Structure 1
């Protein structure tokens, strides 16, 4: 299987040097069918990690060994298990049952090392540069903004096209690889094309190291992004900002013109979409040198762009993590809730610029958090825990979830008996299958205001509010109705029968 840089070279030789598949096969030493396969490939997204099903002889001992090692955390340092002592205890346990231990000491050492790792995770003149059509430059700049009333010291990613002097920008809370890829993807899709060459500085999100003769070792995730969109990357020499002076200028220009006063909004992704339109309006200015509208120059330059790939790129990475006793996973010192049944379990984190999705070991989505930026923060989403709380309703009032309830909902819960509390929390858990937890709590509050008094009236009220209403059928009645005579009931016959029955009953009584 070819490495990502080999796949990238095949694409570049074909697109930029117009070499045939046979020429590429000969030059790269790859099979013709392999070259054809990667030239035809349209999707270079990273596949979700496959579930590992390979078993090991040590699997049967993992639980007991983990128990010993976790117990060591409270033992004196000099009285903790060594890998050899673990092996000896396992052998003694097998011997007591008249059996031989069926694994080697080396295998146990490997198991102990893996489990310990999991447990511990708890002055040169500048030269004027020529920029042809179809080239771009990318950089980050620091920017302050306010989302939902919270102030962030964030960043804006800027992409400029030096030939036309067009520029676009996107706001982010960080400047990691996911932010870089998401911002570039947003701009690519908005302008409808891919530049042939893009200039970067030596940002650590894209460059692992600078080798001899100026070669760069690019991170695997960024290599995948480059290969998917099939553009060439040029990295500036260290401390040579003039080599990408266009974007350096635009970083400051956009901060002064787009982000003054400090922007305030409710949702960052929605704001980023409107920000692209703000950048469109900026193209109406005159080019600083060519005395033409930037918009006209950019329309001409876009003809040099490659079309978008048929498959959209997923700007995410997958990271394996292990939850703690409370079912929380850690990413870069920040903690994310999972679900009540996932305590001390291996899970996958699907990490994007704006979100962190929790996936179980079978890659099934559990819950999606907003991504946290900063240190030692926590995101707690209660919806996956509601079913667990419904089984242990006495624990409800001691949770942060209970304290976060609106006053009316909290008072209602406090006055419910144990069985009714179970039913109400179960009702909330059902609501979160259709709504966010915030929307579910708003529905609860509205139903209580309408007079709901128990779980049954909550469910009935919710159905009334959400299920479709049948419109009243209006029947047209003619104004010329036939005259109907009044009908009077004659009770004489009925009364005669009653009198006869009464006389008959009286006669029977006398005869007796």
Structure 2
């Protein structure tokens, strides 16, 4: 095109300077006289005419392709033909010898001709600080405790500054949706005026005509508590651009910070990694912004609505019944409760990451919420009263296997159990172990383990010995076992030895053995009782006689 413009310029210049004819100009510039006339008429060359070309390669198959593309109007969007799939079908079903790019160009032209390729016009928006935010969930995978787990990333993004808060959950339930809001508001230090949503089931019970929605009760309570208004986008792809900021942010964050797949020990550790990534993103500059996200948010934070003083409970209340295995079923997962509650209904507070069980108003246990369907989470302590009656059930108990895996049932427990069974038999030895396990309800785990190690080291097989040594270990560390700290005498630790309470009573009462304090009380005396006997002997043995009807009564 540039060459033709230069040619037209040369023709017009020669005409002005030398007043040459059309024929002379054509001979000088070696062009047709028609081109000279076009140059004299306009300095801009006319557009080239487009001629319809024959399509010998795609022509025989054009009708078949048209039928397939027209049939796509009645099938789901995600299962429609692509240009590559059409090319593959032509080769497999009709032995067509075509290049893929030939088919791709034809499909693109067909869709453009039929209005299937279009761009919706979007009006640029200006967001005032603190006025609006967007919320959505995104999916990603993480390896948690060695298991590949599907996670859901809750994202709340402020529209003005671009500041986003992200929280990972293992479910997309309403409790996760509500807890994500609370944690995001707490992190931001305030609440935006309005929040945009798509039609999540956690917030929308039913989609009505237009923008009208029937909202869930818990979502209405959340909105009322924090004082923000809600805006719901149009369903499907038609409304995806209405909260495009958070839609694009989820994909960017996933590619930037969750590749490769993170490997963590717990969901808490995963959220710590995500929080660190959030702080790193504060240094990003959004397109068209003068300052980074952190600087923009520093101002926007000052205009957010302050947080309410009272706390909003995000958990859901359930009332399952305890089965004969002392378990409750919550969202297809089973959790143990104390055996005394078997057959009764309990109140459960189900949060996004934990399960809290109440008997009336008293909390009886809490579990980390399981991420595996049909799993069971059992605590050995819940079965101790039953195992004291049925000691033979302990070796194969599922709760014991889980306690071993998580490190609660240690090697010291195993060694003590083995020693007690050798000394007292399986049943009696297991009961001694159960007595030791009961100590965990009132003493720290480390103190009991230290008591077990001390008892095993001297061959003691009594739970009383473990209790004494655990108490002594706790006192050395300054921990409080009862209402008052226990003070032991400062004796040489190397000369101490473990003895039973019976042996302690048979020894010198002033000796300090096994770390017990000396008995400094005086010996018992009966002098007071002897004094009473003396007073009784000095009293008059015969009372005065009283006459009654001619008889005397002493």
Which category describes the TM-score, using the shorter chain as reference length? 0.5 to 0.7
Are the counterparts in 2 of residues 390 and 423 from structure 1 also a CA contact under 8 Å? no
Q: 1:16 corresponds to which residue?
A: none
Q: 2:253 corresponds to which residue?
A: 254
Match of residue 433, structure 2, among 424, 429, 448: 424
Instruction: State the alpha-carbon separation in 1 of the partners of residues 206 and 357 from structure 2.
Output: 31
Q: 2:468 corresponds to which residue?
A: 460
What SS class does the counterpart of residue 185 from structure 2 fall into?
Answer: helix
What SS class does the counterpart of residue 169 from structure 1 fall into?
Answer: strand
Q: Which moved more, 1:260-269 or 1:302-311?
A: 260-269
- Tell me if 1:131 matches 2:137: no
Instruction: State the alpha-carbon separation in 2 of the partners of residues 424 and 348 from structure 1.
Output: 32
* 1:23-45 Cα distance to aligned partner (Å, 9 max, x none): xxxxxxxxxxxxxxxxxxxxxxx
Instruction: State the alpha-carbon separation in 1 of the partners of residues 281 and 355 from structure 2.
Output: 34
Match of residue 199, structure 2, among 198, 202, 214: 202
Instruction: State the alpha-carbon separation in 2 of the partners of residues 441 and 344 from structure 1.
Output: 32
Q: 1:364 corresponds to which residue?
A: 362
Are the counterparts in 2 of residues 336 and 380 from structure 1 also a CA contact under 8 Å? yes
Alignment of 1:235-250 (within 5 A): 235-239=232-236, 240-250=239-249
CA shift at 1:210, angstroms? Answer: 0.9
CA RMSD of superposed structures (Å): 2.6
* 1:111-152 Cα distance to aligned partner (Å, 9 max, x none): xxxxxxxxxxxx671523443322111111111122333321
CA shift at 1:388, angstroms? Answer: 2.7
CA shift at 1:363, angstroms? Answer: 2.9
- Tell me if 1:295 matches 2:319: no
Instruction: State the alpha-carbon separation in 2 of the partners of residues 247 and 236 from structure 1.
Output: 13
Instruction: State the alpha-carbon separation in 2 of the partners of residues 281 and 247 from structure 1.
Output: 18
Are the counterparts in 1 of residues 447 and 474 from structure 2 also a CA contact under 8 Å? no
Instruction: State the alpha-carbon separation in 1 of the partners of residues 254 and 450 from structure 2.
Output: 41
Q: 1:21 corresponds to which residue?
A: none
**Alpha-carbon spacing, 1:399–1:308, altered in 2? closer, same or farther (3 Å):** same
Alignment of 1:211-290 (within 5 A): 211-239=208-236, 240-273=239-272, 275-290=274-289
Are the counterparts in 1 of residues 388 and 434 from structure 2 also a CA contact under 8 Å? yes
* 1:264-284 Cα distance to aligned partner (Å, 9 max, x none): 233323542453343122111
Alignment of 1:375-454 (within 5 A): 375-403=373-401, 404=404, 405-406=409-410, 409-410=413-414, 412-414=416-418, 415=421, 416-417=424-425, 418-435=427-444, 446-447=453-454, 450-451=457-458, 453-454=460-461
Are the counterparts in 1 of residues 233 and 240 from structure 2 also a CA contact under 8 Å? yes
What SS class does the counterpart of residue 256 from structure 1 fall into?
Answer: helix
CA shift at 1:182, angstroms? Answer: 1.6
What SS class does the counterpart of residue 253 from structure 1 fall into?
Answer: helix
Alignment of 1:80-95 (within 5 A): none
**Alpha-carbon spacing, 1:460–1:472, altered in 2? closer, same or farther (3 Å):** closer
Are the counterparts in 2 of residues 387 and 429 from structure 1 also a CA contact under 8 Å? no
Q: 2:338 corresponds to which residue?
A: 339
Instruction: State the alpha-carbon separation in 1 of the partners of residues 489 and 145 from structure 2.
Output: 40
CA shift at 1:347, angstroms? Answer: 1.1
What SS class does the counterpart of residue 322 from structure 1 fall into?
Answer: coil
- Tell me if 1:352 matches 2:351: yes
Are the counterparts in 1 of residues 448 and 466 from structure 2 also a CA contact under 8 Å? no
* 1:225-279 Cα distance to aligned partner (Å, 9 max, x none): 1111111111111011111101001101111222222222333235424533431
Aligned length: 348
Instruction: State the alpha-carbon separation in 2 of the partners of residues 169 and 311 from structure 1.
Output: 23
Q: Which has the higher contact order (CA 8 A, sep 6+)?
A: 1
Q: 1:22 corresponds to which residue?
A: none
Are the counterparts in 1 of residues 145 and 265 from structure 2 also a CA contact under 8 Å? yes
Point out the structure with max Rg over C-alpha. 2
**Alpha-carbon spacing, 1:452–1:289, altered in 2? closer, same or farther (3 Å):** farther
* 1:440-478 Cα distance to aligned partner (Å, 9 max, x none): 8855765566556321222122112212367969xxxxx
**Alpha-carbon spacing, 1:148–1:180, altered in 2? closer, same or farther (3 Å):** same
Q: Which moved more, 1:380-389 or 1:192-201?
A: 380-389
Match of residue 181, structure 2, among 180, 184, 190: 184
* 1:58-88 Cα distance to aligned partner (Å, 9 max, x none): xxxxxxxxxxxxxxxxxxxxxxxxxxxxxxx
CA shift at 1:391, angstroms? Answer: 3.5
* 1:5-39 Cα distance to aligned partner (Å, 9 max, x none): xxxxxxxxxxxxxxxxxxxxxxxxxxxxxxxxxxx
CA shift at 1:373, angstroms? Answer: 2.8
**Alpha-carbon spacing, 1:445–1:144, altered in 2? closer, same or farther (3 Å):** farther
State the TM-score, normalizing by the size of structure 2: 0.58
**Alpha-carbon spacing, 1:452–1:358, altered in 2? closer, same or farther (3 Å):** farther
Are the counterparts in 2 of residues 402 and 410 from structure 1 also a CA contact under 8 Å? no
**Alpha-carbon spacing, 1:219–1:447, altered in 2? closer, same or farther (3 Å):** farther
Instruction: State the alpha-carbon separation in 2 of the partners of residues 311 and 382 from structure 1.
Output: 36
Instruction: State the alpha-carbon separation in 1 of the partners of residues 489 and 186 from structure 2.
Output: 44
Instruction: State the alpha-carbon separation in 1 of the partners of residues 316 and 308 from structure 2.
Output: 20
* 1:141-196 Cα distance to aligned partner (Å, 9 max, x none): 11112233332111111111121122221111111111122222112112211111
Instruction: State the alpha-carbon separation in 2 of the partners of residues 160 and 193 from structure 1.
Output: 13
Instruction: State the alpha-carbon separation in 1 of the partners of residues 244 and 312 from structure 2.
Output: 29
Instruction: State the alpha-carbon separation in 2 of the partners of residues 440 and 424 from structure 1.
Output: 15
Instruction: State the alpha-carbon separation in 1 of the partners of residues 448 and 261 from structure 2.
Output: 32
Q: 1:318 corresponds to which residue?
A: 317
Instruction: State the alpha-carbon separation in 1 of the partners of residues 397 and 285 from structure 2.
Output: 60
Are the counterparts in 2 of residues 339 and 384 from structure 1 also a CA contact under 8 Å? yes
What SS class does the counterpart of residue 320 from structure 2 fall into?
Answer: strand
CA shift at 1:209, angstroms? Answer: 0.6
